[in-house]
Chain A
Amino acid sequence: SQTIHQWPATLVQPVGSPLSLECTVEGTSNPNLYWYRQAAGRGLQLLFYSVGIGQISSEVPQNLSASRPQDRQFILSSKKLLLSDSGFYLCAWNGMGHTEAFFGQGTRLTVV
């Protein structure tokens, strides 16, 4: 069966520090991969999605970037964090043809 792993679960980082969040999927090939951010009490905002290795689409101009170095690995990064980058980050995947999507456990990031 397919599983999605996302880590770390919580993270506290100072302003100006770098960020790297990792997401991996097991049990499937060539998944569509997604990064979302959820501010406190708000909905989910799509940040990046990828349909293949090295193929990244950005939805919102921001201080973040994404990379897909391997088929089942999706990384969210920042060179210098801002206070406004705080939030709950969720990784998701679905299959070709836009089948059901599944989410990781999420990373709660606090920038101080």
Chain B
Amino acid sequence: GIQVEQSPPDLILQEGANSTLRCNFSDSVNNLQWFHQNPWGQLINLFYIPSGTKQNGRLSATTVATERYSLLYISSSQTTDSGVYFCATGYSSASKIIFGSGTRLSIRP
């Protein structure tokens, strides 16, 4: 089945810094999402981005489907950005959504 790998597993930054999170996937996919899991466990949708680039405030994401990776950029980090970031992907023939193992981001004031 499809494999999804995220890097780095952990990232500690000072407030105001920029960061790049990476998601690699092993097969051709037709959807790709980024989520932020808050301290209460809720998964917040950040981007649905099967291909191309999207931006939402300080966050942006790029997916290069032909090269099987996606990047999440966080600029001017704030302490509220802390938490775990997951990418998830799937393909229609299997009807599954598979998650990467996540990147734990800690933003220090």
Contact = CB atoms under 8 A, between A and B. Distances in A.
Interface of A: 32, 34, 36, 38, 42-44, 46, 49, 51, 57, 59, 88, 90, 92, 94, 97-103, 105-106, 108
Contacts of A36: 99
Contacts of B90: 98
Interface in B72-109: 86, 88, 90-92, 95-102
Nearest to B92: A98
Nearest to B95: A51
Interface of B: 30-31, 33, 35, 41-43, 45, 48, 86, 88, 90-92, 95-102
B95 A43 contact: no
A44 B99 contact: yes
A97 B50 CA distance: 12
B99 A43 contact: yes
A100 B97 CA distance: 10
Contacts of A88: 41
A99 B92 contact: no
Contact of A106 (B42, B96, B98): B42
